[in-house]
Every structure is written in structure tokens, then in C-alpha cells.
Structure 1
């Protein structure tokens, strides 16, 4: 019998990569993609475990699962940092920090 590709194996890999790349988007994009990739990877792993000779693409699933876990961790850390900043210094404090940072950039560009 001909081997077939595991369902969603490429999608799992892509979602894992995107979850890492978008970790600096306040966790809003990368966290859901990482969770979806992890759920799909668990389903694909269970399907592969039933009959490994029938499917190919398990390496994509394993890699995507690892990337999804890394992406979830990075997104969660970034999201907790943003929440902590809003709780500790507030939106006005963050805006002041950004204005000071931009002034520093403009002064560096003038010199």
C-alpha cells in the first residue's frame, strides 16, 4: 500500500514557525497559532502511532510540535511582560518611555 502524508503535517510546521516569528506581537497572534499547532501535532502523533508504516511526514510533525512549544513559551513570556508593564507603570508610563526612547533615537540621528 502506498504511503500517504500525515494530515496537517506541513500546517503544523508552518504554524510552529509563525508562532515564534510573531512572538513580539503581544502574544495575540503567536499564542493561538502555537496552541493550534500543538493540538494538531498531538492528533497527528496519535494517528501516526496507530500505523506508522502507513504515513510519511512525521518529522514535520515533531519539528512543528517543538517549534509550537517554543512559540507558546515566548508568547506567554512576552504577554506576561506587557501585562506586568501595564499593571506596574500604566499606559501613561509606557507612553512616556516610548517618547523618551524616540527622542534618544532622533538625537542620535542628528549627530
Structure 2
């Protein structure tokens, strides 16, 4: 059995990140470890849905758990995940800044030296 090409593995990795709840969970865990009960109000989904998303992140080896009594705490398996989220935030900031500039250009009045638009005959 051969190993899939790296680009396929990367695509699978990004697919794992392709859900808003999973990204929200990873953002929270990039700050510190959290118990499920702490994440619920922040994520804003039902406990069963959060549990499903956490299971996907565990299978992808992006989060790990530890038990303290009856409480299960989640943490990132590697700090590089937090770095990836920070990089994505920076990229999106640049994209949105460019879009804000384009929107401002569209909303600005046309320069006075432009000829008027011809009217259809």
C-alpha cells in the first residue's frame, strides 16, 4: 500500500479545518486548554454537536485530552496549529483590507476629468 501524495494529505488536513465550529474550538484552544463545559457557551452549539466536532479533531490528531475527575480537558497537540490560525488571520486581514479599499473606490464619486458615460441610442 502506497502513501498518498503530500498534496492529498494537506487537502485532507485543510478539509478538517473547513468547519466553523472546529476553527472556533482550535482558536479557543490556542489560548489555553479548555473543558467541554467551558467551550459550549463560546462555540454556541449543542453539546452533542460539539462532541462530534471534537472527535473529528481528535482523529486528525489536532487535539488531545486529559481527564481530571469527571472533567475532560482539551488542548492543542502542537503549537503550530495556533501559528496556522494566526497566519490565516493575517491573510484574511490583508484580503479584507483590499476589499475595503475596493469598496471605498466604488463608493467614491467619479473624478471630475472623466468623460460622462455615453447614453444608449
Shorter-normalised TM range: 0.3 to 0.5
**Normalized per residue, which structure has more strand?**
2
Specify which structure has the bigger relative contact order, considering alpha-carbon pairs within 8 angstroms and separated by 6 or more residues: 1
**Looking at CA atoms only, which structure, 1 or 2, has the larger radius of gyration?**
2
**Normalized per residue, which structure has more helix?**
1
TM-score normalised by the chain length of structure 1: 0.33
TM-score normalised by the chain length of structure 2: 0.31
